[in-house]
Structure 1
Amino acid sequence: MSRDTLLNRLATECYRHGTFTLASGRSSDHYVNCKPVALSGSGLALLSPAMLALVEADSVAVGGLTLGADPLVSGVAMAAAQAGRDLDALIVRKQAKGHGTGAWLEGPLPPTGSRVTVLEDVVTTGGSSIKAVNQLKEAGYRVERVVTIVDREEGGQEAMDAAGLELVSLFRLSEVAARAKELSA
């Protein structure tokens, strides 16, 4: 992966400066939506190996809360297969399926006790990541690490620490904002 190329794309395609209301209800001068890069073929081709490199070596699957993590878990699983590594993708629903089995998780379920790494596009407070972690733990999996594209540096790290989780990010919001400023100058 070209870290610089990925940072440039995030800064130009995913970042905006202004006044925004976040999902948490808080106001921010910074908006980051990684979906324009994560949902493009060339962007996912950059993101997937970069995120795969941060997935724990003994993880048998990557999982994350729908919708932000959907392309990420699929892309990382594919990058793993291309590298000769067996790693499946799991999608964690926001609520249990209302019909059929009532499942919270979609994908090839690994054996109970297996390690799963959670993937996230943007971490602000850590709430959605922790929700995914809790659902995976409730299903009997070991989860200790969350890998995100961007850490907004607004309490997510502290929330992960409090939950006993390791947060690993490709970029911090300060890096993306600084690059956006450089590129617009």
Structure 2
Amino acid sequence: MNPLNPSLVAAKENLLTLLAQKAYRYGDFSLASGKKSSHYVNCKPVSLSGSGLFLISSLFLKQINEGDSAVAGLTLGADPLVSGVVMLASQSGIDLSGLIVRKEAKGYGTGAWLEGPLPPKGSVITVLEDVVTTGGSSLKAVERLRTQGYLVNKVLAIVDREEGGVDAMSKADLDLNSLFFLKEIVERAKSL
């Protein structure tokens, strides 16, 4: 595999192994959604590593539509994802901006909710997410972007825990495309 141009199959296989090794834990956890779970996935050890971010960005960039003006996501989980995809897009000759959606409006200056080079109102933006459980974080980002006059039709996630995120996205007229389901990561972790 050429590290600068991985095949999609090889990239997915390598990323799945990285997630199983470095992001997945089995135990007793409370999730951001408020739910309890025996399975926990924290993608940051992977998305904040050079090789992990490159694999994620490569796989996400393949799913960005040609007409999209930007990718965006809710801080903190989406920060490296947005940065990685935008950098890889630039290296590939694709004009794509990155936006970070704050959890609260900036408490000073302009009071902005969005950080980054703002595209014109009406532009299409794809939201990036690390892990989707119920979809709450993604929907917060989508709501902020739509309130600012942007069109959001799709959310790209690294992992879908399959706990209601697809339904929540569908009700908000969004497609959820995930690189992996939790069960795939659990299976890979058991095989390592």
Match of 1:146 in 2: 155
Match of 2:18 in 1: 9
Match of 2:113 in 1: 104
Match of 2:77 in 1: 68
| Pick aligned residue for 2:27 from 18, 22, 29 | 18
| Pick aligned residue for 1:92 from 101, 104, 114 | 101
Greater mean alpha carbon deviation, residues 16-25 or residues 168-177: 16-25
Instruction: List gaps (5 residues or longer) in structure 1.
Output: none
Give the secondary structure class of the aligned counterpart of 2:143.
helix
Matched AA of 2:88: A
Matched AA of 2:106: K
After the TM superposition, which residues 21-170 of structure 1 pair with which residues of structure 2 at under 5 Å, given as runs? 21-170=30-179
Q: Distance in 1 between matches of 2:72 and 2:87?
A: 13
How far 1:32 sits from its partner (Å)? Answer: 0.3
Question: With structure 2 as the length reference, what TM-score do the two structures score?
Answer: 0.94
Q: Distance in 2 between matches of 1:88 and 1:118?
A: 12
Runs of 4+ more than 3 Å apart? none
Task: Give me the identity figure in percent.
Answer: 63
How far 1:52 sits from its partner (Å)? Answer: 0.8
How far 1:69 sits from its partner (Å)? Answer: 0.3
Aligned residues: 183
Matched AA of 2:17: N
Give the secondary structure class of the aligned counterpart of 2:152.
coil
Question: With structure 1 as the length reference, what TM-score do the two structures score?
Answer: 0.97
Give the secondary structure class of the aligned counterpart of 1:144.
strand
Matched AA of 1:102: G
How far 1:57 sits from its partner (Å)? Answer: 2.0
**Root mean square deviation of aligned Cα:** 0.7
Q: Distance in 1 between matches of 2:35 and 2:162?
A: 14
Q: Distance in 2 between matches of 1:24 and 1:147?
A: 18
How far 1:56 sits from its partner (Å)? Answer: 2.1
How far 1:177 sits from its partner (Å)? Answer: 0.6
Q: Distance in 1 between matches of 2:111 and 2:30?
A: 33
Instruction: List gaps (5 residues or longer) in structure 2.
Output: 1-5
Deviations 1:115-162 (A, max 9, x none): 000000000000000000000001110000000000011110111111
